[in-house]
Chains A and B, each alone.
Chain A
């Protein structure tokens, strides 16, 4: 299996620009997570999808952030407009929730730099 795929791996953009991060979960998984990691705040859960439906978006920092999952094999995280404080590594993870087991498989991350 290819694992969770994220693109791009690195993104450098200017403040005010729109940024779109992409994720392809592991085939057959029914749950998808977006996380953000910074030195100051560590690893934070932004949003959780189950069967393509957003279940918990309480971690989304503000309205500038939005996430979609149009089908079981693709998700996007969009920031519009971007700000320097959005600079972080963004991880996507997927999981198959079954029998109360919930191992999450993380992608390699997208390092976002907003100047």
Chain B
């Protein structure tokens, strides 16, 4: 399985943007980049995914490097509700598996 590397933790102030980096230097051409998050005492929640182009949805933006070896999840205005563990996951296009690593624990200060 292709692996991802994320910082263990990040802190942010409320209403400021948060940029969560993810390195995936061994990514293959068919790997999708997925982001999930897990709020305290809840199950993981899908955030966004992309293949080659940057993606935006109501929750976040995903910026993918041109060589696809890294990506950044952007939360435009952090709220206290965004405090969670964020997982960056590579999934082969023909595979069903999501392999969750340790993720990045995001703390939002009021």
- What count of chain B residues pass the 8 Å CB interface test? 18
Contact B43 A109 (CB under 8 A): yes
Instruction: Give the interface of A toward B (CB within 8 A).
Output: 4, 31, 33, 42-43, 45, 48, 50, 55-56, 91, 93, 95, 97, 100, 102-109
Contact A105 B96 (CB under 8 A): no
Partner of B49, one of A103, A105, A106, A109: A103
Contacts of A33 in B (CB 8 A): 96
Contact A105 B100 (CB under 8 A): no
Counting from the closest, the 7 A-B pairs by CB-CB distance are A106-B43, A43-B100, A103-B46, A100-B93, A91-B43, A106-B44, A109-B43
Contact A102 B44 (CB under 8 A): no
Output the least CB separation between A74 and chain B (Å): 18
Name B81-95 residues within 8 Å CB distance of A. 91, 93-94
Output the least CB separation between A103 and chain B (Å): 5
Known pairs A42-B102, A48-B97, A108-B42; list 6 more (Cβ under 8 Å): A31-B96, A42-B100, A42-B101, A100-B32, A100-B94, A106-B45
Chain B facing A: main interface SS: loop
The number of inter-chain residue pairs (CB within 8 angstroms) is 44
18 contacts between A and B (CB under 8 A): A42-B102, A45-B97, A45-B98, A48-B97, A50-B96, A56-B96, A91-B44, A93-B43, A95-B96, A102-B98, A103-B49, A104-B36, A104-B46, A104-B98, A105-B46, A106-B45, A109-B42, A109-B43
Instruction: Give the interface of B toward A (CB within 8 A).
Output: 32, 36, 42-46, 49, 91, 93-94, 96-102
Chain A facing B: main interface SS: strand
